[in-house]
Amino acid sequence: MMPRTADLARAIAVGDASAAEVLEVHVARIEATDDRVNAFTGKSYARARAEAAAVDAMRARGEALPPLAGVPYAVKNLFDIAGETTLAGSKIQRDQAAAGSDAFLVQRMQAAGAVLVGSLNMDEYAYGFTTENSHYGACHNPHDLSRIAGGSSGGSGAAVAAGQVPLALGSDTNGSIRVPASLCGVWGLKPTFGRLSRRGSYPFVHSIDHLGPFADSLEGLALAYDALQGPDRLDPGCHAQRIEPTMPTLTRGVEGLRIAVLGGYFHDNATPPARAVVQAAARALGASEVVDWPHPALARAAAFIVSASEGGALHLEDLRTRAEDFEPLSVDRFIAGALQPAAWYLRAQRFRRVYRDQVRALFQHWDVLLAPATPVSAPAIGTEWLDINGQQQPCRPSMGLLTQPISFAGCPVVAAPMWPDGTQGMPLGVQVIAAPWREDLALRAALLLQQSGLAQIQLPAL
C-alpha cells in the first residue's frame, strides 16, 4: 500500500523521506502501470523533479514547509500548464498555442508545495461520463481493466485509484468528479459552485462548471481543498471572498448534525448495490429518516438543456468547419445543443433559480443528505445499455442520473468510496451532500465513514 497524502507530507516535513525520493516512487508506479490504465496523456517529469528539488532545498535551509510539500499530483488535461498545450481531451486543441501560465488552481497547488507530474485523460471537452476517448484511448478502471473509469475526469479518478498519484484535480459539471470517484473507489469533492476559481481551465458549461480534487483519503481531500481555496479577482465566477479551512473542523464528528437519506428518485434510479451502500452509510451516521429532493428529474432535464446549449455555442465555429475532428461519441450532442431554441435555454435557467431556492429550503431542516453517486458500479468499456431495476437506460448519460440534480443546485458533495456486495469486487460511491458553502459539514460526515472502515481505498493488483 502506498503511503497516503498526509503521511507523505509528514514524512517529507520531518526528513524521513525526501521529495525527490517520493517523486521517483510515483514516477516508477506510473511507468509500470499506465500502459494498461491509460490515465496520463502528458507527463511533466522535468518540472516535477525541479519542484521536488525546490522542496528539498527549502527543508535543507530549515524553512517551514507548506502543507503539501513534496506530494505528487496530476491534473485533468483541461487545466493550463505553462508551456504545454491544453488539450481538453480533443484533437482540435492540438493546434493551439501552449499555455502562457498555469491555471489558478495549479498555482495554488504549487504554492502549497505539491509536485505536478502530468496531465490526465478525459472525455473530449468534458462532455461524457465514461472517458472512452477516441483520440487518446479509453481510460481503464484500475480495479478491472475491462471496465470504464467514469468521466469526464476518468484519468483523475483512475490515477489516484492506481496509486500513480495521491492527489488529482478534475472538473464536475454534471457529475464528472463524483462518477469517476464512485467507479474507481477514490475520494472526490465537488465544491460549492463558485467556491474555487476556474481561471486557466478549458470550460464546458460556464454556468455549471465546478473544479475540485480527488484524493487517496479524506484527510488528503481536505488538505487539497484547503490548498485550492482563495479569492481570485481575475475570475468573476469565483465567489469565495475568504478561505474557509476545513482540516481543523474534521475532528468535531457528526454530533448534532441532522442527516437523512434521499429517497424517491434517488432510490428508484439506483440498483440494489447502490441502495445498499447508502443504507450502510446511513447506519454508520445514525440517519434513519428518508426525504425527497425537490424536482430531481426536472433538474436533470434542465441541466441537459443548459449543458447542450452552452457546449454547442462554445464550439459552434468548429462544428461548422471541422465536425469530423470531434469525438464521435459527443459530436451529435454538441450539434443538437447548438440547434436548440434559445427559449429552451432561458426556461431551463429560470427554472434553476426557483429550484435552487427549493433546495436551500430543504437544508433548513437537514445538514447532510446521502445518496448513491452512481446507479451501478463500473460497466464494461463499450457498454451501450444498462438495466436499472428492469428499465433499459442508455449507459453513457445514465452514469450521471444521480449526480446531475445535485450539481445543478450548486451544492458541495463529497464522494465517498464504498465496496458493496454484488458488484464483483468493484467500488460504488456515496454522495455526502451539504448546503452551499458548507463543505465542512460534508467532510465531517464523510470522515466518520472513513473511520468506520466503510469508506476506504483499496489499491488494485495491477
Residues 336 and 308: beta-carbon distance below 8 Å = yes
Instruction: Output the pLDDT for position 356.
Output: 98
Instruction: Output the pLDDT for position 244.
Output: 77
Instruction: Output the pLDDT for position 299.
Output: 98
Residue 377: asked if its preceding bond is cis (omega within 30°), the reply is no
Interior CA angle at 308 toward 302 and 309, to 5°?
90
Domains and CATH numbers, the chain: 5-451 (3.90.1300.10)
Active site residue 91: no
Q: Which residues pair with 79 in a beta bridge?
A: 201
Instruction: Output the pLDDT for position 1.
Output: 67
CA torsion sign, 146 to 151 to 153 to 157?
Answer: negative
Cα–Cα dist 173/307, whole Å: 8
Strands 167-172 and 72-76, by their bridges, are parallel
Cα–Cα dist 5/388, whole Å: 36
Instruction: Output the pLDDT for position 243.
Output: 77
Query: In this structure, how many other beta carbons lie within 10 angstroms of the beta carbon of residue 462?
Result: 17
Of residues 119, 156, 171, 176, which has the active-site annotation?
176
Active site residue 176: yes
Q: What is the pLDDT along the chain (462 residues), one digit of tens a residue?
A: 678 999 999 999 999 999 999 999 999 999 999 999 999 999 999 999 999 999 999 999 999 999 999 999 999 999 999 999 999 999 999 999 999 999 999 999 999 999 999 999 999 999 999 999 999 999 999 999 999 999 999 999 999 999 999 999 999 999 999 999 999 999 999 999 999 999 999 999 999 999 999 999 999 999 999 999 999 999 978 887 777 788 777 877 888 999 999 999 999 999 999 999 999 999 999 999 999 999 999 999 999 999 999 999 999 999 999 999 999 999 999 999 999 999 999 999 999 999 999 999 999 999 999 999 999 999 999 999 999 999 999 999 999 999 999 999 999 999 999 999 999 999 999 999 999 999 999 999 999 999 999 999 999 988
Q: Is 15 exposed, middle or buried (0-12, 13-18, 19+ CB in 10 A)?
A: exposed
Of residues 76, 153, 156, 398, which has the active-site annotation?
76
Q: What are the grid coordinates assigned to 250, written together?
A: 474534521
pTM (2 d.p.): 0.97
Q: What are the grid coordinates assigned to 407, written together?
A: 450539481
Of residues 90, 119, 152, 171, which has the active-site annotation?
152
3-state secondary structure the chain: CCCCHHHHHHHHHHCCCCHHHHHHHHHHHHHHHHHHHCCEEEECHHHHHHHHHHHHHHHHCCCCCCCCCCCEEEEECCECCCCCCCCCCCCHHHHCCCCCCCCHHHHHHHHCCCEEEEEECCCHHHCCCCCEECCCEECEECCEEEEECCCCCHHHHHHHHCCCCCEEEEEECCCCCHHHHHHHCCEEEECCCCCCCCCCECCCCCCCCEEEEEECCHHHHHHHHHHHCCCCCCCCCCCCCCCCCCHHHHHHCCCCCCEEEECCHHHHCCCHHHHHHHHHHHHHHCCCCEECCCCHHHHHHHHHHHHHHHHHHHCHHHHHHCHHHCCCCCHHHHHHHHCCCHHHHHHHHHHHHHHHHHHHHHCCCCCEEEEECCCCCCCECCCCEEEECCEEEEHHHHCCCCCHHHHHCCCCEEEECCCCCCCCCCCCCEEEEECCCCHHHHHHHHHHHHHCCCCCCCCCCC
Strand order across the beta sheet in which 290-291 lies:
40-43, 115-120, 72-76, 167-172, 210-215, 187-190, 413-416, 430-434, 368-372, 259-262, 290-291
Cα–Cα dist 40/149, whole Å: 13
Query: In this structure, how many other beta carbons lie within 10 angstroms of the beta carbon of residue 44?
Result: 21
Chain centroid to CA 294: how far?
A: 24
Cα–Cα dist 421/274, whole Å: 10
Active site residue 76: yes
